[in-house]
Structure 1
Amino acid sequence: MDDERTVRFETVYRETYSRITAYAVRRCGSPQDAADVVAETFTVAWRRIEEVPPGHEALLWLYGVARRVLANHRRGEERRQTRNAELDAELADLYGTSPDSGVELTAIAQVFRTLSGDDRELLSLVAWEGLDREEIATTLSLSRNAVRIRLHRARRRFARALAEADVRFTAESRLVPVERSL
């Protein structure tokens, strides 16, 4: 029984580690925080391996776990005073304005941070994780219809906030979700 459990966990880990890590990295202020979130997420998966659904559903289940772990982490992070300035500078260097994008990425990031946590999470699951509505519904334990409505409203609020910040898009500068082949 223990060998079967170990093999099951190792399979889930291999198939989902990079996506869960990317999820955490994009939502944490430092690589160390992201590593903590990933470690805790897979600790939960190990303890509850019998509850982890098979196939692609395992990734969605783990996104839900990672989301809750991240929420706990953020509550702890609020008690800390400083952030990792080095990583912020490195990310700014790596992902600053692209001359051919036609969009000021810094302005987009600033507007994005002004959105509610729920709006940021929905938009991130689409743009960064490449999830569709049904997958988001599974991850967030919502109905598909609720996701459709909330996503529509989040996009509308984001577009309104971008317009208020005078960030304009052209047809060539559309932001595209990540590839689903990860």
Structure 2
Amino acid sequence: MSSGTEHEDLFRRAYAANFEPLLAYALRRVEQPEDAADVVAETFLVAWRRSREMPPEAEVRLWLHGVARRVLANHHRGGVRRGRLGERLRQRLRPVVAADPGSEVPERLTVRAALAGLGESDREVLMLTFWEGLEPREVATVLHVSPAAVRTRLSRARARLRDLVGDDLAPPGHVLDVMAARAPEEGR
């Protein structure tokens, strides 16, 4: 029997004998059952990669538990990191979301509707330039085109947007004439 086949056989026997006990071990240590399945899969992946280092069968169970323990530690550290990252992202997104009153201002709704009426290329070049604040050379990098092509697209996109919106948008704020109409008096 070759050495490679011997290691594969040892791995198969270790897997068959220890899968369920390792799954139970992981289930008791994680919050979600699918996380336990991931821990066991990662444990056996490590065992497969290190099968030549695997101890004799009498000691393999403890060795696998040691591997599973390290995998669980990595899993928990990863969960803490993901939680911290999620919180940082939530903190960063709050001002961005709160700073865009676009859905509250009729003129901005008009612009959004006009943008939706543009082609994808025009819309993207306008949004990258005005909403993301990118320079034409930066937009060119994002779109994988030359800066000259961006300037040309931007000029055409502005003209098309102007055609859709018109030049006479009121300054940002409330539309007064909507609220200025007199309400009918009662009894008339």
Please identify which structure carries the higher helix content: 2
TM-score normalised per structure 1:
0.42
TM-score normalised per structure 2:
0.41
Q: Which has the higher contact order (CA 8 A, sep 6+)?
A: 1
